[in-house]
């Protein structure tokens, strides 16, 4: 029913690297040291290599050695649901702050010109909704074992995600008059949209990993792919809330 996992230093290594990365980012924000920026780059490269090693270990255990039993798969599913709930709580704290000021202050503040929601934000909404539809079709092909058809759908989803990030960058660069330092509105807007953008980038990385996992997947053994699809749909839902309440409202 269960299996004993091998001892590994990867989990503790990831935690140490994340702690060092956070400390370096805070230091750069306050000191603006060029040397520390190179230090952050080095730490991020080490973090990426560690994640790649962990990914290889997971693939070996789950799909090649087939060590995950039904009970373990169910616990992984529950753990991922808990992870999504925690992510929702993180977004909820930012939305809470946004709604607090919209209901108690003159909103948007005087001097702030909001972005036109029918321009780049609407385009990004269409991109994410289209990517969600493509990912759903991809999942259906996995279940139906049509392995010759599904790859183009996940490729399209990844491409749409990359385009979304590029458009958001262009929005930050050329289409927004206010900045992060422009009071509470700028702080909350960039925190919400930037936090979501980071999740989109994480989702793209997960989908790229899913490309490799999909060749091992079967109807009864595709929990990892399910997790990637859930995560992407979670990102879609958060963006719809952002589009409605932050851009339109």
> Which CATH number fits the domain 1-67, given the four candidates 1.10.287, 3.30.9, 3.40.1130, 1.20.950?
1.10.287
Q: Residue 164: what pLDDT? A: 95
Block residue for tokens 């994340």: 18
Q: What is the percentage of the chain residues whose pLDDT exceeds 90?
A: 21
**pTM for this model (two decimals):** 0.80
61 token code pair: 């255990």
Packing angle, helices 151-170 and 183-213, rounded to 10: 160
Torsion of CA 127, 89, 227, 232, to 10 degrees: 0
Using the predicted structure, report yes or no on whether residue 50 has a pLDDT greater than 70: yes
Q: Residue 33: what pLDDT? A: 53
| Mean pLDDT rounded to a whole number for the chain | 79
Are the C-beta atoms of residues 214 and 139 closer than 8 Å to each other? Answer: no
Sequence-distant contacts of 21-24: CB under 8 A, at least 24 apart? 21/47
| Higher-pLDDT residue of 152, 171 | 171
82 token code pair: 């808990």
**pLDDT tens-digit readout, 86-136:** 999 999 999 998 998 888 778 888 888 888 888 899 999 999 999 999 888
Q: Residue 217: what pLDDT? A: 55
CA distances from 118 to 9, 123, 197, 246 (A): 49, 8, 19, 13
Give me the mean pLDDT over the 141-158 stretch.
74
CA distances from 141 to 132, 137, 174, 207 (A): 14, 6, 40, 16
**pLDDT tens-digit readout, 172-226:** 888 888 887 778 888 889 889 988 998 998 888 888 877 776 665 554 555 667 8
Using the predicted structure, report yes or no on whether residue 232 has a pLDDT greater than 70: yes
Q: Residue 233: what pLDDT? A: 92
Whether 1-67 shares its CATH topology with 70-248 is answered no
Q: Residue 75: what pLDDT? A: 76
CATH architecture, domain defined by 70-248: Up-down Bundle (1.20)
83 token code pair: 């992870």
Q: Delimit the domains of the chain by residue range.
A: 1-67, 70-248
């Amino acid at each position: 029913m269960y299996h004993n996992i091998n001892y590994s230093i990867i989990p503790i290594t990831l935690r140490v690297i994340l702690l060092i990365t956070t400390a370096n980012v805070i230091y750069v924000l306050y000191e603006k040291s060029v040397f520390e920026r190179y230090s952050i780059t080095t730490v991020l490269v080490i973090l990426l290599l560690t994640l790649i090693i962990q990914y290889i270990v997971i693939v070996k255990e789950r799909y090649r050695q087939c060590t995950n039993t039904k009970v373990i798969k169910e616990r992984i599913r529950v753990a991922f649901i808990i992870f999504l709930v925690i992510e929702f709580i993180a977004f909820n704290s930012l939305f809470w702050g946004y709604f607090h000021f919209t209901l108690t202050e003159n909103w948007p503040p005087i001097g702030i010109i909001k972005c036109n929601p029918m321009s780049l934000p609407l385009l990004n909404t269409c991109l994410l909704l289209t990517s969600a539809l493509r990912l759903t079709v991809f999942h259906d092909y996995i279940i139906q074992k049509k392995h010759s058809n599904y790859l183009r759908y996940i490729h399209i989803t990844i491409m749409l995600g990359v385009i979304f990030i590029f458009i958001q960058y262009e929005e930050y660069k050329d289409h927004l008059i206010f900045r992060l330092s422009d009071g509470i509105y700028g702080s909350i807007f960039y925190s919400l949209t930037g936090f979501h953008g980071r999740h989109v980038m994480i989702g793209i990385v997960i989908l790229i990993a899913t490309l490799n996992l999909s060749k091992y997947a079967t109807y009864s053994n595709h929990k990892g792919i399910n997790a990637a699809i859930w995560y992407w749909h979670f990102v879609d839902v958060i963006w719809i809330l952002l589009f409605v309440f932050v851009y339109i409202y």
